[in-house]
A = this chain, B = another copy of it.
Amino acid sequence: MGKKEVIVTVGLKEGISDPEGKNVKKALSLLGFKEVEEVKILKSYKITINENKCKDIDEKVKAMAEGLLTNPVVHDYEISW
């Protein structure tokens, strides 16, 4: 067994406004990129896990995502491998 890389991607829930995305959109349009209609920001945590120390990776990563990486009021998240 060795190391595993898991990516937790966090985004804002549908309906929660994304001021940072709006800001980037504005900045792009000030730079002349008028074709941009919307920008949304996602943040990913690429986590390297030592499998020897960990039994149930799925469970663990879910716990990290829910315990620390997201706030359920505003965030959705996805785990990918």
Restricting to A13-69, which residues have a CB under 8 Å from any CB of B? Answer: 21, 24, 27-28, 31, 33-51, 53-54, 60, 63-64, 67-69
Please give the residue numbers on chain A whose beta carbons come within 8 Å of chain B beta carbons, in ascending order.
3, 7, 9, 11, 21, 24, 27-28, 31, 33-51, 53-54, 60, 63-64, 67-69
Q: Which of chain B's residues have a CB closer than 8 A to the CB of A35?
A: 49-51, 53-54, 60
Q: Are B27 and A68 interface neighbours, CB within 8 A?
A: yes
B28 contacts A68, C-beta separation under 8 Å: yes
The contact of A43 among B41, B47, B60, B63, by CB within 8 Å, is B41
Please state if A36 and B49 are interface contacts (CB–CB under 8 Å): yes
Give bound CA distance, A11 to B11, whole Å.
17
